[in-house]
Amino acid sequence: MQKARPAEFIGLVAALTAMVAMTIDTMLPALGVMAKELGAAHDNDRQLIILIFFAGLALGTLIFGPISDSTGRKPAIYAGLGFYLVGCLMCFFATSFPMLIFGRFVQGFGAASPRVVSMAMVRDGSKGADMARIMSYVMSVFMLVPIIAPSIGQIVLNFGDWRVIFLGFMVMALLAGLWLALRQEETLAPENRHPFEAAALWESAVAVVRHPVAFGYTIAVGFVFAAFNVYLATCQQIFAEQYAQGSYFALWFGGF
């Protein structure tokens, strides 16, 4: 294995981080088609395709971070990618709307690992201004993905079936895992690891809640994130049904 150069490391972290945005935003143009084909009971049920992904993402974030502190960064990411691929397969072969929703939950759970653990990889190898520089580059890529991802989804719909989108997700995950395996060394030394303990997680959560500044910022970010989630879950339906802009949704979304 060759050690990734600094620029390549930034690219790898950006790719791992961007998986979440790609998995959410590429799906947006297909929400209505998916819900209709799989027999969703109500038009608004299409929103669950996005919201349930965030539920899995939230749970996975709580689990994969501490696991990576115990086993190392790379094994935790591999495990998350495994769950992600299983979720993709479930969605690809879904024959009912509940099966699709469960697959999206598993997909979100797995996607949490590359998202949160890649950030830990940055902290392992850098600090201060250097870490801020790396994170600024990574976030720049992360912000660009939502601009182009819906257009990718719309192109797939124009020329094929919505299930092809999940094939694209699987290829993306496999390439990211291969890149990680071949080019990136483990960043967490064995002497810096500590066992996974539920009690320690609980103590950390209590410490955050009892710290007024940390707790206040957590609540504030939670409200902002909640509003953003609602926008993501409803924007396709609003543009398509209220403004009859379904064919141009990807352009409107990228513009906003």
Tokens encoding 78 = 């591999």
The answer to whether residue 63 sits within a structural domain is yes
pLDDT value, residue 105 = 99
Number of domains within the chain? 1
pLDDT value, residue 179 = 97
pLDDT value, residue 2 = 52
- What are the 10-residue block averages of pLDDT along the chain, 256 residues in total? 75 96 96 95 95 97 94 98 99 98 98 97 91 91 90 94 98 98 95 88 88 93 93 92 86 82
User: What's 98's domain CATH number?
Assistant: 1.20.1250.20
The answer to whether residue 1 sits within a structural domain is no
pLDDT value, residue 199 = 84
The answer to whether residue 198 sits within a structural domain is yes
Chain centre distance of CA 94: 20
pLDDT value, residue 246 = 78
Apex CA 14: angle with CA 8 and CA 15, to 5°? Answer: 90
Domain that holds residue 75: 6-255
pLDDT value, residue 211 = 93
The answer to whether residue 205 sits within a structural domain is yes
pLDDT value, residue 168 = 98
39: left (phi over 0), alpha (psi -120 to 50) or beta: left
CA 27 – CA 105 distance, rounded (Å): 14
Residue 43 vs residues 39, 71, 126, 136, 165: alpha-carbon distances, Å: 10, 43, 47, 39, 21
- Residue where the block lists tokens 């890149």: 179
3-state secondary structure the chain: CCCCCHHHHHHHHHHHHHHHHHHHHCCHHHHHHHHHHCCCCCHHHHHHHHHHHHHHHHHHHHHHHHHHHHHCHHHHHHHHHHHHHHHHHHHHCCCCHHHHHHHHHHHHHHHHHHHHHHHHHHHHHCCHHHHHHHHHHHHHHHHHHHHHHHHHHHHHHHHCCCHHHHHHHHHHHHHHHHHHHHHCCCCCCHHHCCCCCHHHHHHHHHHHHHCHHHHHHHHHHHHHHHHHHHHHHHHHHHHHHHCCCHHHHHHHHHHC
pLDDT value, residue 95 = 97
pLDDT value, residue 4 = 61
The answer to whether residue 40 sits within a structural domain is yes
pLDDT value, residue 135 = 93
